[in-house]
Amino acid sequence: MAQQAVTPPTPRHSRGPAAASGLSPAKRSLRHTYGALDLGTNNCRLLIARPTDSGFTVVDAFSRIVRLGEGLSTTGRLSKDAMDRAIGALSVCAEKLRRRNVSLSRSVATEACRRAVNGRDFAERVRRETGVALEIIAPEEEARLAVLGCHKLLEPGEGPALIFDIGGGSTELVLVDHRDETPRIRAWWSAPWGVVSLTESEGRAAIEGPERVAAYARMRARARSSFSRFVELLPKDKSDVALLGTSGTVTTLASVHLKLQSYDRRAVDGLQVPVSSMRRISTNIAEMDFAGRSALPCIGAERADMVVAGCAILEAILDIWPAEQLGIADRGIREGILRSLMARDGHPL
């Protein structure tokens, strides 16, 4: 159900051998290398960074599509194949954390592990086989970290902003006031539809079949319905509003908007795209078959089966928040983790 933002529980952090006792927090911060790992329903992502005067510098990164939540909506369980894929990716992350001598890290798991009856058993297996201590975080903590990671990209304005993260198994929506340097969370919502769960709810046969436009309309309506109670919390006056999205869906569609032949984070992160353009791209993608979507350079075969659900969720968000521009963030939970870890050691947010 919808809730006002609350203070999250104290997270578990992993200290490495480079932690320096006896130094001031700020000096200790400069000596640390920090790690942030986000295991989602669809992706496993890692960032390793060191603090700088203006934020941090990334020294290593890793991303792999693992589809941990594949089949979860049907069985309620993480499958053996999905867990094995995730373990393979997490083993790579664990080796990078060791090789980079990371002194402070946090590893989080989101909707797939929250929802699966064997989610905690899987987290224990991860710890046993890789040494990574996965923390299964609540939706409100996921939303808080996403905001912390990307809010600096919000365009200046007096009106409220909506920040969203379309994941594999859920979508987080956060309403914020951003007149001050650090935004204040007014309300948040976690909807049970992400690109994996919504695709499985409709079925690939319907999405790829001759009635795929109707299937797309059903997915969009399903996502919109799941936001209905959150809509009640939104201000009636929606003038001067801002909209910022962080997810593979928005970065992929922004790449299509720019007609990129290969993904370029520098071109996408911080981009402002007209909402009308994003709607047009979403509709065009929903009308294509799998081969057509695969032929788009920044979608390809790896994303072609899930991107339609992402478009449906995005359009449902655009339906409830009438901004003219959509801000694109290629940053989110991992960056939020890094900023919060560095802040604990005296580095400013």
* Cβ-Cβ contacts under 8 Å for 288 (sequence gap 6 or more): none
> Which pLDDT does position 15 carry in this prediction?
56
> Which pLDDT does position 183 carry in this prediction?
82
Taking the mean position of all CA atoms in its chain, how far away is CA 144? 11
| In the predicted structure, residue 54 carries a pLDDT above the cut 90 | no
| In the predicted structure, residue 21 carries a pLDDT above the cut 60 | no
| In the predicted structure, residue 20 carries a pLDDT above the cut 60 | no
Please give the C-alpha separations between residue 109 and each of 94, 120, 251, 327, in angstroms, as whole numbers.
15, 10, 21, 26
DSSP state of 183: P
Domains delineated in the chain? 14-138+334-344 (3.30.420.40), 141-329 (3.30.420.150)
Question: What are 266-299's pLDDT values in tens digits?
Answer: 999 999 999 999 999 999 999 999 999 999 999 9
> Which pLDDT does position 348 carry in this prediction?
74
> Which pLDDT does position 14 carry in this prediction?
61
Backbone angles phi, psi at 112, to 5 degrees: -60, -45
Question: What are 123-171's pLDDT values in tens digits?
Answer: 999 999 999 999 999 999 999 999 999 998 987 777 899 999 999 999 9
Question: What are 169-222's pLDDT values in tens digits?
Answer: 999 999 999 877 778 899 999 999 999 999 999 999 999 999 999 999 999 999
pTM of the entire structure?
A: 0.87
Backbone angles phi, psi at 177, to 5 degrees: -95, 130
Looking up tokens 């919502």 gives 189
| In the chain, beta strands by DSSP E | 14-15, 34-39, 43-52, 55-65, 104-109, 134-136, 161-166, 171-177, 184-191, 242-246, 272-274, 325-329
Closest CA to 147 of 306, 5, 345: 5
